[in-house]
Amino acid sequence: MYIVLIVLAICGAIGAGMAGAKGKDQVAWFFICALTGIIGIIILAFQPPDTASSPMQRAVLRSGEREARKRWAALVELDPDIAAAAEKARSYGPACEELLADKYLTLNDKAYLAAALAKAISASQVRTEAMRVKVDKRDDDSGEISGPLGLSRYSRTQEWFVIVEGPFTGNSFRTHDEMVQFFSP
């Protein structure tokens, strides 16, 4: 009996070590491997590593993001062409400037600045269009509302607008405006 417990504890320790190396939850995998033995270790061996899941990996990525932001800010401050492109992108929203910065810093070539700006604006407009809420009222009691998560159908009871089909089935709202606001990003 004690030998079985020792073997399972060793399996748990091996699983925890493997999980840590793969960026997975070590405590959870300790118990999984301790309870399942070699089967848990085999399952874990075939699991892909989690990208940027360990605290060290996340810190490295955040550090890289900070450095990229600093580089972008310096480029915007020092280069008039990049400053003009950033200002134009900013007029489409902060996300558009982030897309421009990401594309430009990836290529790091001013010859592609205009193309990167055009792509960032295009992507930003597509995102904005996808985020809009469209309402099609059939009558005062029913209709369709389309938002970022897709199409939903609603109907009205005596006091509520109720989503009867779609991603938010079962949600109810006191007013039509409240429902539209819910679907707005």
Name the phi and psi angles at 162, rounded to 5: -115, 130
Ranked by mean pLDDT, the top range of 41-50, 74-83, 115-124 is 74-83
Asked if the model's pLDDT at residue 63 lies above 70, the reply is: no
The pTM score is 0.43
- What does the alpha-carbon distance between residue 168 and residue 140 come to, in Å, rounded to a whole number? 20
What pLDDT is attached to residue 165?
84
Domain boundaries, the chain: 2-45, 55-130, 134-183
Mean pLDDT calculated for residue range 120-139:
64
Q: pLDDT of 159-179, one tens digit each?
A: 788 888 887 788 888 787 787
Question: In the structure, what pLDDT confidence band is assigned to residue 135 with cuts at 50, 70 and 90?
Answer: low
Mean pLDDT calculated for residue range 21-29:
84
Name the phi and psi angles at 109, rounded to 5: -140, 120
Q: Could you give the dihedral angle defined by the CA atoms of residues 105, 50, 148 and 90, in that order, rounded to the nearest 10 degrees?
A: -20
What pLDDT is attached to residue 77?
93
- What does the alpha-carbon distance between residue 102 and residue 107 come to, in Å, rounded to a whole number? 9
Q: How many CB atoms lie within 10 A of CB 4?
A: 9
Mean pLDDT calculated for residue range 82-86:
92
- What does the alpha-carbon distance between residue 23 and residue 19 come to, in Å, rounded to a whole number? 6
Asked if the model's pLDDT at residue 146 lies above 80, the reply is: no
Give pairs for 114-117: CB < 8 Å, separation 24+: 114/85, 116/85, 117/85, 117/88, 117/89
Dihedral sign of CA atoms 61, 67, 71, 77 in order: positive
**5: which 2 tokens?**
């417990």
Given its phi and psi angles, is residue 150 left (phi above 0), alpha (psi -120 to 50 degrees) or beta? left
Question: In the structure, what pLDDT confidence band is assigned to residue 148 with cuts at 50, 70 and 90?
Answer: low
